[in-house]
Amino acid sequence: MPNFSGKRIMVIGGSRGIGAAIVKAYAAEGGDVLFTYAGSREAAEALAKSTGARAIHSDAAVRDSLVAAVRDAGPIDIFVYNAGLLVAGDPLTLDPDAIDRMIDVNIRGAYHASVEAARAMPDGGRILIIGSVNGDRMPFAGLAGYAMTKSALQGMARGLARDFGARGITVNVIQPGPTDTDMNPANGPLADQMHSVMAIREHGTSEDVASLTLYLSGPAARGITGAMHTIDGGFGA
């Protein structure tokens, strides 16, 4: 793993799951880490205490609050947008407000926060967005809205890679498949259905996703941009 001493790193949505693993991994490699949370204050405070990272309360669905949190962080070398919601069900009966909040967190927040992070980002910086293999493949009913949000991130990353490439800033999407977290527990009711379409029939771990994130943040990845990086046990194969 690269060493991140002297690097300021911000993770949007870092209190639990994949985001928390990313916070821990950067902190373990010497990074100066800030992360945001919305609902999980206790988890965020415990993570801050155990890692030395700084926890900031900011709802990623509220653009002004999110943009202010990013701006107030000062120049960020590595920016990770991890916050995400999954709203599943029959599109004919799902609450439209829940779908809109998912769009706010998964897409609008990712765009506005990434642009704000790029504003003061030093040359050679990194922007990493946690998408999903569902941006490429959606083999189950009930997840059209979620898949839409993750596909949108692909176009965003391709475009922002062009916008910021001249400064040596890379923009990439990491696309996990089933990963054992509160959002998608390895022993949840849908686990067998998910495993049935995978080459490696088990959930991945948040630490797997964090490892890929750190690799893409390091100097060896300076030529990788505008790309989707799928880590899904063959879900999309």
Ligand X SMILES: NC(=O)c1ccc[n+]([C@@H]2O[C@H](COP(=O)([O-])OP(=O)(O)OC[C@H]3O[C@@H](n4cnc5c(N)ncnc54)[C@H](OP(=O)(O)O)[C@@H]3O)[C@@H](O)[C@H]2O)c1
Per CB under 6 A, residues contacting ligand X are: 13-19, 36-40, 59-61, 82-86, 105, 130, 132, 176, 178-179, 181-184
Structure tokens at 64: 């002004």
Residue 155 or residue 165: which is nearer to ligand X going by CB? Answer: 155
Residue 102 or residue 118: which is nearer to ligand X going by CB? Answer: 102
- Catalytic residue, chosen from 26, 37, 81, 146, is 146
- Other C-beta atoms lying within 10 Å of the C-beta of residue 168: 14
What three-state secondary structure class fits 232? coil
Compute the least distance from the CB of residue 95 to ligand X, in Å. Answer: 16
Residue 29 or residue 232: which is nearer to ligand X going by CB? Answer: 232
Residue 61 or residue 171: which is nearer to ligand X going by CB? Answer: 61
Beta-carbon contacts of 20 under 8 Å, excluding residues fewer than 6 positions away, are 14, 43, 47, 206
How far apart (Å, rounded) are the C-alpha atoms in residues 62 and 20? Answer: 21
Compute the least distance from the CB of residue 161 to ligand X, in Å. Answer: 19
How far apart (Å, rounded) are the C-alpha atoms in residues 122 and 208? Answer: 27
Compute the least distance from the CB of residue 57 to ligand X, in Å. Answer: 8
Phi and psi, residue 13, nearest 5°: 80, 65
Residue type, 18: I
Q: Is 146 a catalytic residue?
A: yes
How far apart (Å, rounded) are the C-alpha atoms in residues 142 and 91? Answer: 7
What three-state secondary structure class fits 171? strand
Compute the least distance from the CB of residue 14 to ligand X, in Å. Answer: 6
Show the 3-state SS of 28-61. HCCCEEEEEECCCHHHHHHHHHHHCCEEEECCCC
Residue 77 or residue 180: which is nearer to ligand X going by CB? Answer: 180
Compute the least distance from the CB of residue 167 to ligand X, in Å. Answer: 26
Which of the residues are catalytic? 146
